[in-house]
Amino acid sequence: MISITLAILICSVVMLSLALLATRGSSVKRELAFRTDVPFYDEMTGDPSLCPPEFAARIFSPADWAFVSGEKSPEVLRLFRHERRVVALVWVHQTKTAIHRIMREHTRAASQSQDLNVATEAKLWSHYFQLVGICNVLILAIQSAGPSRVGTLATYAASLSHNFADAQHALAITTAARDLRGAGAAH
């Protein structure tokens, strides 16, 4: 039998999940009515919220920081620090929102798929959690250390989020084609 501490921990997690499920019931219902009119992936417009990795590299680059520091103006330096931090935070939030949106679109398609690949699905979920974790770390790091110090992590997050979006897109095409083949065979 498990220890009391572990029992309390598991029970708390279960109760919290159940409470979340109970409160989310109505919102999911609302989403269900809305969701079917939205396309899975719009190739024409691409993904407007996911900025290119070069953009992230530029926001978090120490080059601008070095240039402004060279100006020897404390006021400009203060303004730059504030603005760059805001831009960096906006980028992280935008990336996070895009990831959530991509995953939501994916779960919508995957939930009704007839032929889901469990291993690929598990890999996609692990990438998703990794990205969300990195974004949360980035938010904390930007607020505490500033954007110029977390450039490597931000560039990594940017490239990972693009890989994630591409992988999801490829998976959506494969699943759609496979399901279509299955539906064709059924007829």
Q: Footprint of another protein on this chain (CB under 8 A)?
A: 1-4, 6-8, 10-11, 13-15, 17-18, 20-22, 24-25, 28-29, 31-33, 36, 39-41, 43-44, 104, 107-114, 116, 118, 121-122, 125, 172-173, 176-177, 179-180, 183
Q: Minimal distance in Å, beta carbon 118 to another protein?
A: 4
* CB-CB contact of 81 with 146 (8 Å): yes
Q: How far is the CB of 165 from another protein (least distance, A)?
A: 14
Closest distance to another protein from the beta carbon of 171 (Å): 12
Q: How far is the CB of 14 from another protein (least distance, A)?
A: 5
Select 45 or 144, whichever has its Cβ closest to another protein: 45
Instruction: Give min distance, CB of 48 to another protein, in A.
Output: 16
Name the residue among 98, 112, 109 with its Cα closest to residue 39.
109
CB of 65 to another protein, least distance (A): 38
Distance CA 110, CA 161 (A): 19
Judged by CB, which is closer to another protein: 73, or 107? 107
Instruction: Please identify, using beta-carbon distances, which residue of 93 and 108 lies nearer to another protein.
Output: 108
Which one, 113 or 159, has the nearer CB to another protein?
113
CB 145 within 8 A of CB 133: no
Residue closer to another protein by CB (options 70, 118) is 118
In single-letter form, the type of residue at position 89 comes to: L
In the bound state with another protein, the residue whose beta carbon lies nearer, of 7 and 86, is 7
